[in-house]
Structure 1
Amino acid sequence: MTTVHLVYPHGPRISCPQAIGRKLGEHLRRHGYDVVHHDWDDTRALRPRPDAVLLGHPHPAPWTIFRRSARRRGWGRVLTLSPYNHGDRWQVAFLDEVICRCDLYLAITGNTWFQSVERSPYAHWRPKMVHVDLAVDRVDFPRVKT
């Protein structure tokens, strides 16, 4: 069984980011993966294995678990999952040194941001980017009529 080391907030709240980490872990388990949750701000470095996946949200601090672990060779796959917009460079510029070590960047963003990546300072990320449309569970957030 493949182990997924999921580095993402994963508490009981229905708000993001906790809902994303919790729901993603549940989904991966239903599909046969062994999921190990790790706190986003943990400072350990995980030991890579060729049959394991590192999946998570990089913290801006370089000494945190996802960033330290992604620097180590030997993972089966390394996937970044985090919000994306190129309107505020402070929010994503630190990802440059992370994405170069990842197989894919699962970008949580709206259509407008994703469709304009090629015209942004982060166009070089586009080959690794997969659009994740805002990552909310519609069961927790039903349509509201006004």
Structure 2
Amino acid sequence: MPTLDYQESRDREFCDTFYYTLNLCGGIMCDYIYQAAIQSPSKRFYIGNEKAITNLLNIKKGKRITSCPIKQKMYIDLYKKACEIQAGDDRISFSEAVRRAIRSPAPQFYISVRTARHIIAMRRKDAFFNQKRKEASNELL
């Protein structure tokens, strides 16, 4: 799986959102909780500048950029936001509008339930091993 430019930040924010949603719903894990967390707003669009600019320029030319429906939705939402930003200040380039759009709040996390489950599982695994490492170092003292 390729590493995303902002994967660590996205995963951390998603985990916070997931556990907040889980607590609101009584602590019972199910696909609904994952879906509700995914549909929650995020602080930004988690995509790199260069990849976003390239793909949004392709959208502007009318080209199809991905077969993944989730990523397609993300790029369309990002494109709309970039166009709004550029319309608000016609002195900025489309590339700069894309950069600003990326840093603006996104309406959701653009990940699948499978990816969400993976993120949560990896965070739990990391927390478990960090706890074990801490306990081992305490025993040595």
Alignment TM-score, normalising by the size of structure 1: 0.26
Higher RCO by CA contacts (8 Å cutoff, separation 6 or greater): 2
Which structure has the bigger radius of gyration?
A: 2
Higher strand share: 1
Higher helix share: 2
